[in-house]
Amino acid sequence: MTGLSKEGHETASYEPLENHGWALGIARTIHQTLAPGPRLDVLNRRSVEYISESLNTFALGKKPKAVSMYKWITHEVLLATTEGIYAGKFVKARDLVQKSYERYFLDQGHRHPDTPPFTKERTLFEEERGLSTTDMAKMETATSIGILANTLPATFWLVYHIVSDPEVLEDCRTELFSAVKESDDGNTYEVDMTCIKTSCPILFSTFQEVFRFRGTGVSARMMMDDFLLDNTYLLKKGNIVLIPAAVQHGLPSAWGDNVHEFYHKRFIREQGGAKSKRHNPVAFRGFGGGSTLCPGRHFAATEILAFASLIIMRFNIRPVQGYWPTPTVENANAAISIQTPDHDIDVEIEPQNEKRWVVTFSGSDKPMDIAAEDIEEREDKKNVGDIH
């Protein structure tokens, strides 16, 4: 897929299963720079600030604007993502992207002081291992596909499922306004992104339901030993097992009789007695799991939630045709992990007021319980803390 040169392929294939090899080294760099904490903060803040300012510009004039919803949302999020990752050194157009990346590296863009750790540490690792500028550009092209391919349609679906259902819209709006403060002069609204991520369970549940309901990813596992599954299927050691997320996401035993419906409160714990009840976390595989767990899930979640939050608080969105159609997904791209709509939806977007909106983070970004592994890690840390 990357089209590396022979020398580049040899470099990237070096000792793939060893800690000092390329594959584990680059994976380690990616996971470290995308883990919740100061390094991820740089990415999150820059991309969210871009979203906020872009929507401020879009809202000028307080007049309805007609847009194609999918095209507009994905364009806005693409710009915000690349702004966060490349510190304003935006690269565009698939046919030109490799040459744009080559120029980016030749101009030392990856060494710029404003370049986030995710980009700087990863590309310096490649450079130190002897990868040529051309091969680095090819690797970056593949990386950008991985970064954008699922985030763009996921943002569309979250906004769509909220604004197309009055009940979901009202629930999320009511919850979100607890994270908003008005300035003393009354001209600016300040939105605390940290509060949104930690104190808006309905919005977060809706976000997860998008990945359950629209997810099409496939996890791969290698059999370490022979295993008899359900006393029927013998899985032989050394073989690869493919696990479609849609199978787990469509199990009535895991999600209830309404499994084939979009239910925005599905991931909210049901309160009952001393303990609260929740679904089995392992049943949700919207971001993969195990060794193939998406390392960028916290960055993607912050960006998607920020965009959706600002949209539903700031604007009223109406379908031009007078009703919300249900987009078909028969021609969705099978190469990505979330459905894409077959057709766009023409909408009118109208600002609710002319006030300026700014986004803040009241604290360093904390992990969200996005995947089962996040819940397990949080509970392990809590248990260690209890012991000490």
Contact 213/244 with Cβ under 8 angstroms? no
Q: Does 172 carry a binding-site annotation?
A: no
The phi and psi torsions of 317 (rounded to 5 degrees) equal: -120, 125
Separation CA 345–CA 325 (nearest Å)? 8
The pairing of beta strand 356-360 with beta strand 188-192: parallel
**Residue 369 in tokens:** 């319980």
Separation CA 206–CA 229 (nearest Å)? 33
Task: Return the amino acid letter for 228.
Answer: L
Contact 11/131 with Cβ under 8 angstroms? yes
Residue 212's nearest CA partner among 238, 180, 245, 189 is: 245
* Cβ contacts of 90-98, under 8 Å, gap ≥ 24: 91/144, 97/141, 97/144, 98/134, 98/137, 98/138, 98/141
Residue 206's nearest CA partner among 244, 241, 243, 170 is: 170
**Residue 152 in tokens:** 């763009």
Cα-based distances in Å from 323 to 165, 213, 312, 318: 11, 22, 18, 8
Contact 305/166 with Cβ under 8 angstroms? no
Separation CA 123–CA 134 (nearest Å)? 12
Separation CA 122–CA 73 (nearest Å)? 28
Task: Label residue 322 left, alpha or beta by phi (over 0 means left) and psi (-120 to 50 means alpha).
Answer: left
Separation CA 169–CA 163 (nearest Å)? 6
Binding residues for heme: 294
Q: Which residues are annotated as a binding site?
A: 294
